[in-house]
Amino acid sequence: MAQVDHGSFSLPDNCPGLDGCPLTLGLSERISALERRVVTDALTGLWNRMHFDSSLDPEIRRSLRHKQPLSLILFDVDHFKDVNDGFGHQVGDQVLCELASVASLAVRTSDRLFRWGGEEFAVLATASGHRGAARSAEHLREAVAAHAFPSVGRMTVSAGVAEHLASEAADEWFHRADVMLYAAKCAGRNAVRVDARGNSDLWAAAHGASALHLVRQEAYECGNAVIDREHRELFDIANELIDAFLAHGSNPVQVTSIYDRLLRHVANHFADEEAELERSGYARLDAHRRIHATLLDRARELRAALDSGDANLGGVVEFLAAEVVSRHLLKADRDFFPLFADSPAR
């Protein structure tokens, strides 16, 4: 085979440049693997403290730029020293690995879970104010308390929650969450304590109803005319519902009629989107259908809560902003965007 001279070594003449060469691709994969190892905790497989520290400032800037709330959950294992002393450090390591698995299933898929150090962990909860983060922390605490750990039985965790506030630095924000974690320990452990302040409240107070509107960006366009049109309609109806909550919160008839229209739109949109993806040969269609089914179930549960008077504005906004937009449209949907990358609409 003819060879092309490249200095001290030779490449096949059919190699499409360094970027496409199998030799280079193998090197890139090894470099990527090394980079992942640098930011991954060797014991639990979670993101490590170095990655946590480097993530705070970029996440804060993104939160302030897009006016999306950002919360921090710190939690650690209660009486973990007793595990190491009574069962040995090997069992202690097994407990931490098991806890990492339980916590990964308990937190939202849009959140980022880190091992901060020792038996301490952290969660960056994006698009979540202190109220939503408090619910997430409580769900995490309950999941751990209900889990039977091999060799040691039941374990519990304590958690502190703080939403980023104003323009505070990362270390100040971390300190507030740490103070709440200490308060949870002082309360008897197996508890969650929350610093009930945050930018979500400041923005709502400063801008009124408009601060609660969902803001559509061009980046949400995938290039498929049907999907993009129905996404735009979703934003319009969702904002109409938020306005109705603000104006007629005490009159459920005014609110539920719009919610029913939103629910019908979401169900029709999911069906149309699935049809478009099937026509385009989307490989992950079955998983996407399951996500749609889960969201529809949650929407119907919220509708029942409206009838019973158990739903409030915060619950509706969190569902629309965090579940439908942040978690689904900005994460799950973006996975199929490359299918339509060459579309004229794109």
Active site residues: 119
- C-alpha to C-alpha distances, 243 to 117, 213, 258, 259, nearest whole angstrom: 44, 8, 10, 12
The answer to whether the beta carbons of residues 138 and 192 sit under 8 Å apart is: yes
Give the type of residue at 228.
Answer: D
Q: How far apart are CA 187 and CA 179, in angstroms?
A: 12
d(CA 217, CA 42): 38
Token couple for 189: 């452990």
Three-state secondary structure readout of the chain: CCEEEECCEEEECCCCHHHHCHHHHHHHHHHHHHHHHHCECCCCCCECHHHHHHHHHHHHHHHHHHCCCEEEEEEEECCHHHHHHHHCHHHHHHHHHHHHHHHHHHCCCCCEEEEEECCEEEEEEECCCHHHHHHHHHHHHHHHHHCEECCCEECCEEEEEEECCCCCCHHHHHHHHHHHHHHHHHCCCCCEEEECCCHHHHHHHHHHHHHHCCCCCHHHCCCCHHHHHHHHHHHHHHHHHHHHHHHHCCCHHHHHHHHHHHHHHHHHHHHHHHHHHHHCCCCCHHHHHHHHHHHHHHHHHHHHHHHHCCCCHHHHHHHHHHHHHHHHHHHHHHHHHHHHCCCCCC
